[in-house]
Amino acid sequence: MAKQKTTGIEAKAPSDNQVILELIQYNDKEYEMQADIPVDELLTQLKPHLVNWVNVDGLHDRPIVQKLGKHFNLHPLLIEDVLSDHQPKAEEFDDYLFFTMKMLYRIQEKKIEYEQISFVLGRDYLLSFQEKEGDLFGPLRDRIKQSSGRLRQRKADYLLYRLIDIIVDNYYIILDEVGQQIEQVEDDIYERPTNHTFQKIQKIKKELIYLRKALYPLRDALSKLAKDETGFIDAGSMRYFDDVYDHVVHLIDSMDTYKDLTSSLVDIHINTMNTRMNEVMKVLTVISTIFMPLTFIVGIYGMNFDNMPELHWQWGYYEVWIGMVLIVFGMIWYFKYKKWF
């Protein structure tokens, strides 16, 4: 039977200066979970025969992070990378592997936000450092608790793979949403382009920049992780990291395609707006051309000369009107014949 110990599963809402520590320990037969646990107590609960997942939500309290670093003999430069914003990277040390990446969120379906998440993989432990409370790992915690799948039978390196894979899968969701936005903007451009449409395109370009900054360094970091020769990643787990690497390469290809589509949308939007403007100018030009001879006629008969025979004709007024109407219809027929409108 699996041993389960749960302390404070419902973590308290963090304040601005609070760090929440979570400890999950397991193997194929045992399971323990403690949330919102003091750092000193946490360090005494570590068990070498179990996989020890230490999750840190919030990096406000630097001494707590340094205390963890001292216990696990983490390099000072590594701790600085954890506490500061850094590009995704993988780095090998004698006693552990360090891996950091960006975890992306869609905030209220409006914009993409990201936070840095860092991992330290040891022989029997995995440390994860998050900037704030809340993540994508709830279903994974449930799978560990319920002992479903192969997770409970594997070591900490497989847990690292699963966490990275969850984050990368969320990239797919965000990229699919960007693709849907591009399709919607494309429809708007062909139906009724406006300045708001151009703002949507700029928003999409900004989101693609977010993804670019996250994905390109992540590809290089995973490539380095897949070549690990320190033994922290088992040969049986290496193929899973290769699979995540392939996913990231596919994401980059899709992102580059969307980037090209977005650039073409800008050109299409500008050309469509110019075409609409030309249509308006053409209509105004046709109207001006039609009224030009009428203005000429009215100008002639508006001159105050005494000797203008037409002014004394009995039907002169009506004849001028008939002539002007014939000119208008004649010019309209000519423009339609030329297919100018």
Do 289 and 252 lie in one domain? The reply is no
Instruction: Say which range, 68-77, 151-160, 274-283, 304-313, has the weakest mean pLDDT.
Output: 304-313
Contact by Cβ (8 Å): 326, 294: no
Q: Among 248, 271, 294, where does a domain finish?
A: 271
Range of the domain at 214: 3-271
d(CA 97, CA 155) in angstroms, rounded, equals: 14
- Backbone φ and ψ for 217, nearest 5 degrees, come out as -65, -30
Of 83 and 189, the structure prediction assigns the larger pLDDT to 83
The answer to pTM > 0.85 is no
Q: What is the CATH number of the domain that holds 193?
A: 3.30.460.20
Do 326 and 177 lie in one domain? The reply is no
**Residue/partner pairs of 254-261 with CB below 8 Å, 24 or more apart:** 254/175, 254/179, 255/175, 255/208, 255/211, 255/212, 255/215, 258/175, 258/178, 258/179, 258/182, 258/204, 258/208, 259/205, 259/208, 259/212, 261/182
Contact by Cβ (8 Å): 165, 119: no
Do 59 and 152 lie in one domain? The reply is yes
Do 156 and 242 lie in one domain? The reply is yes
Q: State both tokens at 259.
A: 């980037």
Could you read off the pLDDT of 232-243 as tens digits, one per residue? 888 888 889 999
Q: State both tokens at 241.
A: 């990291």
Do 198 and 69 lie in one domain? The reply is yes
- Backbone φ and ψ for 193, nearest 5 degrees, come out as -70, 140
pLDDT of res. 159: 93
Q: What is the CATH number of the domain that holds 304?
A: 1.20.58.340
Q: How many domains does the chain have?
A: 2
Could you read off the pLDDT of 50-64 as tens digits, one per residue? 999 999 988 888 888
pLDDT of res. 132: 81
Do 244 and 316 lie in one domain? The reply is no
Look at residues 130, 97, 101, 121 and name the one whose alpha carbon lies nearest to residue 22.
Answer: 130
Do 216 and 319 lie in one domain? The reply is no
Gyration radius of the chain over CA positions: 35
Do 131 and 261 lie in one domain? The reply is yes
Pairing mode of beta strands 97-107, 111-121: antiparallel
**How would you list the strands of the sheet with 89-92, edge to edge?**
3-7, 30-35, 20-26, 51-57, 125-130, 111-121, 97-107, 89-92
d(CA 90, CA 118) in angstroms, rounded, equals: 10
Do 297 and 150 lie in one domain? The reply is no
With H, G, I as helix, E, B as strand and everything else as coil, classify residue 136.
Answer: coil
Do 31 and 72 lie in one domain? The reply is yes
Q: Among 255, 271, 287, where does a domain finish?
A: 271
Q: Among 244, 271, 298, where does a domain finish?
A: 271
Say what percent of the chain tops pLDDT 90: 23
Do 114 and 169 lie in one domain? The reply is yes
pLDDT at 12 over 80: no
Do 283 and 205 lie in one domain? The reply is no
Could you read off the pLDDT of 276-328 as tens digits, one per residue? 888 888 888 888 888 888 888 888 777 776 677 776 777 777 888 888 889 88
d(CA 46, CA 72) in angstroms, rounded, equals: 11
